[in-house]
Amino acid sequence: MSSTDDRERRIHVRKGFYGLIEGVVLGSTFFATIQDLSLAGVSFEVDYPFRPGLNLHLTFRVFDDQEPIEVKAEVVWVQPSHMLFSRVGARFTELGPKAKTIINAYVASLKPEPEKGDSGPTKYPLIFSPFKISNVTLKNRLTMAPMFWGYANEDGTVSQRLIDCYREIALGGVGMIVVANAVIDTSGIMASRVLRIDQDRFIPGLTELAKSIKSSGAVACLQINHAGRWAKVEKPLAPSPATMDISAEMSGLDGIHEDLSGRHRMRLVNQYLLALMRCRQGMTLEEIESIKEAYGKAALRARKAGFDMVELHGATGYLLVQFLSARSNKRSDSYGGSLENRMRFPLEVVETVKGFVGNDFPVGYRFMADECLANGFDIEEAKVFAQNLERTGIAYVSVTAGTYESFFLPEIINRCRKEGYIADLARQTKEAVSMTPIIAAGRITRPAIAERILSNNEADLVGLARTLFADPRWPDKVFEGREDEIIHCKCCNTCLLCVVKDEPVICARWDKFKRMELYVELQHKIETWEKILIAVDESEGSLAAVEYAGHMIGKGHKVTLFNVLTTEQGIEMAKNKMEGFLSQVKGHLVEMGVGERDIDIKVATKEKGVAEDILEEVKRGEYGSIILGKRGISWARQLLFGSVSSYIVQHAENCAIWVID
């Protein structure tokens, strides 16, 4: 092998490297994602308050087919990273011969080639074995767990984007897809662009969606839901009024980091406060009967639309689990108090749904095993509830944990980075029932983890959500023995923060054109895209922004190439030079399909500041969109002075913004 070929192979192996750390610092366990690795040390991304000088005990794998290695290290540097995390650099202080050998293999890209015939079905026999849920047979044990994306049309109907995304995942080889969060009643709408199934007019679109999934090789299941107290309506329905102990109710936001901009932190806090203020009365018995019937009618519509089964959303803090939890259910009638009473409403919903759809139509349940909150619904109560669900003839139980009140607690954010973190709760649930299939989800990113969960009898099926969102072809790649080509979810929480910001969900692992296409199609109306300002200088980030724009704009849009001169000498010469540069940029856009007459060039001199002057031009010219690139500046400078792009994002109003990184 030539040195060039060897170098390319190393780059390929290291680029595809995926590793998780389980570590101990100051007596506490943390989980992290490895970013880089050498014999000298390791860098990783983590949600934990590290500081230089801390001693670490680390355990991690380099390759799936090798035993975990243990090392000791010392934190050398800590750097704020994107979203909720920090990047940490540590040098090894104790590295045994075994660890050195394995890390050397990684550095030299000596990962052993798979043996001939070592494909998915032989390597992972349980994953690729068929499985029967009631009267429906899945071709394998892999399911797409429900994941809210915000891709429906604004009126709750099925969009073409939703159809295309689910079709892509179905074509990737998964056995069953659970389409997330179809709302059963207008009183239960919790977000923008959420699917609805509360009227017959939604059936045609859902029929197209079910048909697309099934024709692409997967079983189609529709999750139906009511948000309860978290609905964005004037008078939310809930088992009982929200407590006005604000400090206790708001404690779930303790994990929101400074890296989430002030605007979005306040939005999240306001959502919580508004939900509490609106939730001033409990549901009447008449409302309880009405909502049970709404669940039944919604399930019947799903059947008419051609779905193979439905799933009741009994997790994430929505209405069904609000009745189950003693934290949110303070009723004193037959629907509150004891666990037997708190179980009554969700069990009656199951019975009502089965009465509408018939016993030959499977009804599954998205199951809250633990709220992860003090005095909340926990696994011991959950096991009793699972036994009662089994008596109703539930088709399957899909185990999850955590609610909106607990998702942002620091210890929960940390735990969610652990691979297969729901598996133990799934195992305990499975031990409590004898006949009901159990689905385990929760950060199952590698096939080895999925196979282990199945072989240990912790669950009957595995649920992949963000894993398939990052790489829809994950099942086929595993089946064909192409694991090294998988695009792994890195647990960066970009998708979660999109939900916080009430924006269509994207994945940070997608290529830039897929992300831009989604923004243009879903996030903004066409009129906001028609008049565009592109902030241009000679930086690499700025030129990348122009490249982005050229691919996405096309004809029919008005574009202004705008520059703010920062020089204090030779203004005329600098202006002429910049206008010449922008003319070249204009020619590039024309070559990429933007109309020449639709492109203007504008050069201004700095007055208030680059970011402020760009915003002044946007306001003056009534632009609907801004496109700009990130400039490469040091962390220290960004910390002290901020960045142009950050300032514009925080201060622009009524305007779509694309920051190209």
Residue 50: what pLDDT? 83
Residue 636: what pLDDT? 42
Measuring CA to CA, how many Å separate 230 from each of 29, 313, 317, 500, 643?
32, 14, 8, 13, 35
How far apart are the C-alpha atoms of 403 and 313, rounded to whole Å? 12
| pLDDT tier, 17 (very low <50, low <70, confident <90, very high otherwise) | low
Mean pLDDT score, 195-201: 96
**pTM here?**
0.74
Residue 259: what pLDDT? 41
How far apart are the C-alpha atoms of 626 and 614, rounded to whole Å? 9
Interhelix angle for 203-215 vs 160-171, to 10°? 20
Mean of the per-residue pLDDT values of the chain: 83
Report how many helices (DSSP H) and strands (DSSP E) the chain contains, helices first: 24, 21
- How many C-beta neighbours within 10 Å does residue 82 have? 15
% pLDDT > 70, the chain: 81
Within 13 A of 208's CA, how many CA atoms are on the CB side? 13
Phi, psi of 57 (to 5 degrees): -115, 115
**Cα dihedral sign, 573-574-577-579:** negative
How far apart are the C-alpha atoms of 203 and 194, rounded to whole Å? 15
| pLDDT tier, 28 (very low <50, low <70, confident <90, very high otherwise) | confident
Here the tokens at position 11 are: 């780059």
Given a contact cutoff of 8 angstroms between Cβ atoms, the answer to whether 96 and 89 are in contact is no
- Tell me which of 250-254, 575-579, 627-631 is least confident: 250-254
Residue 356: what pLDDT? 98
| pLDDT tier, 526 (very low <50, low <70, confident <90, very high otherwise) | very low
Residue 139 has pLDDT above 70, yes or no: yes
Is residue 124 among the annotated active site residues? Answer: no
Exactly one of 106, 151, 166, 318 is catalytic; name it: 318
Here the tokens at position 516 are: 């831009």
Residue 267: what pLDDT? 54
Residue 642 has pLDDT above 60, yes or no: no
Nearest to 398 by CA among 456, 465, 301, 347: 465
How far apart are the C-alpha atoms of 395 and 222, rounded to whole Å? 13
How far apart are the C-alpha atoms of 210 and 203, rounded to whole Å? 10
Residue 237 has pLDDT above 80, yes or no: yes
Mean pLDDT score, 294-313: 98
Mean pLDDT score, 232-237: 86
Phi, psi of 100 (to 5 degrees): -60, -45
Here the tokens at position 317 are: 């803090």
Residue 172 has pLDDT above 80, yes or no: yes
Residues with Cβ < 8 Å from 62, sequence gap 6 or more? Answer: 19, 37, 69, 102, 103, 105, 106
Provide the CATH topology of domain 3-107: Thrombin, subunit H (2.40.10)
Nearest to 400 by CA among 431, 441, 443: 441
Question: Three-state secondary structure along 337-397?
Answer: CCHHHHCHHHHHHHHHHHHHHCCCCCEEEEEECCCCCCCCCCHHHHHHHHHHHHHCCCCCE
From the centroid of its chain, how far is CA 215?
A: 26
Residue 637 has pLDDT above 60, yes or no: no
255-297 pLDDT tens trace? 554 444 444 555 555 566 666 667 778 999 999 999 999 999 9
3-state secondary structure of 514: helix
Residue 576: what pLDDT? 84
370-379 pLDDT tens trace? 998 888 899 9
Nearest to 394 by CA among 340, 427, 433: 433
Residue 613: what pLDDT? 86
Nearest to 296 by CA among 360, 218, 349: 349
Element (H, E) at 262: helix 262-278
Considering only CA atoms, give the Rg of the chain: 27
Provide the CATH topology of domain 524-660: Rossmann fold (3.40.50)
Residue 2 has pLDDT above 80, yes or no: no
Here the tokens at position 34 are: 């490895």
- Tell me which of 125-139, 387-401, 622-636 is least confident: 622-636
Residue 625: what pLDDT? 79
- Tell me which of 67-81, 122-136, 345-359, 533-547 is least confident: 533-547
State the amino acid at position 274 in one-letter form: L
Residue 307 has pLDDT above 60, yes or no: yes
Residues present in the chain in total: 661
Mean pLDDT score, 64-90: 79
Here the tokens at position 99 are: 């660890």
Pick the more confident residue, 591 or 29: 29
Mean pLDDT score, 580-600: 84
Residue 145: what pLDDT? 95
Domain 3-107 and domain 524-660 have a common topology = no
Strand-strand pairing, 438-440 and 397-400: parallel
Nearest to 538 by CA among 507, 579, 508: 579
Mean pLDDT score, 22-38: 85
| pLDDT tier, 308 (very low <50, low <70, confident <90, very high otherwise) | very high
- The CATH number fitting domain 125-500, selected from 3.90.650.10, 3.30.67.10, 3.30.930.10, 3.20.20.70: 3.20.20.70
Residue 397 has pLDDT above 90, yes or no: yes
Q: DSSP states of 5-19 as a string?
A: HHHHHHHHHHHT---
How far apart are the C-alpha atoms of 150 and 184, rounded to whole Å? 16
35-63 pLDDT tens trace? 888 888 888 888 767 888 999 999 988 77
Residue 105: what pLDDT? 78
Provide the β-strand partners of residue 311. Answer: 223, 364
Residue 616: what pLDDT? 86
Here the tokens at position 235 are: 């008078």
Residue 577 has pLDDT above 70, yes or no: yes
Q: DSSP states of 604-648 as a string?
A: EE-SS-HHHHHHHHHHHHT-SEEEEE-----HHHHHHH--HHHHH
Domain extent listing, the chain = 3-107, 125-500, 524-660
Residue 617: what pLDDT? 87
Exposed/middle/buried for residue 638 (C-beta within 10 Å: 0-12, 13-18, 19+): middle
- Tell me which of 18-27, 346-355, 433-442, 631-640 is least confident: 631-640
Phi, psi of 600 (to 5 degrees): -110, 155
| pLDDT tier, 33 (very low <50, low <70, confident <90, very high otherwise) | confident
- How many C-beta neighbours within 10 Å does residue 161 have? 18
Mean pLDDT score, 108-127: 70
Residue 258: what pLDDT? 44
Residue 62: what pLDDT? 78
Residue 630: what pLDDT? 63
How far apart are the C-alpha atoms of 313 and 148, rounded to whole Å? 12
Mean pLDDT score, 457-485: 93
Residue 659 has pLDDT above 80, yes or no: no
Alpha helices (H) along 494-596: 494-500, 512-518, 540-552, 571-591
Residue 610: what pLDDT? 83
